[in-house]
Amino acid sequence: MLTATLTDLDTGQPVTFTTGSTTLCTSLTNAQGVATCPATLALPLIILNGGYTATYAGGPNYQPATAHGAVITI
């Protein structure tokens, strides 16, 4: 499962998860500012692209933000 956390705890905001040019899902943040994406089936594509990107478009009070998440293998 992929996750992204908005540090301002902005609830109900959309976060889009992508890898390469593929959109994996768009999820809304919960009360803790966390958005999750159940992209388990896309794991090979995520590994091939070196991770995933979470994008928050911003809102009336907050600036847009983008972050890259790497794949950790054990």
CB–CB of 39/24 below 8 Å? yes
Alpha-carbon distance 30 to 20, whole Å? 26
Helix or strand (DSSP H, E) at 48: helix 43-48
| Selection from 15, 14, 17 nearest residue 51 by Cα | 17
Helix or strand (DSSP H, E) at 24: strand 22-28
Alpha-carbon distance 42 to 17, whole Å? 11
Q: What is the domain partition of the chain in residue ranges?
A: 2-69
Ranges of the chain whose pLDDT falls below 50: none
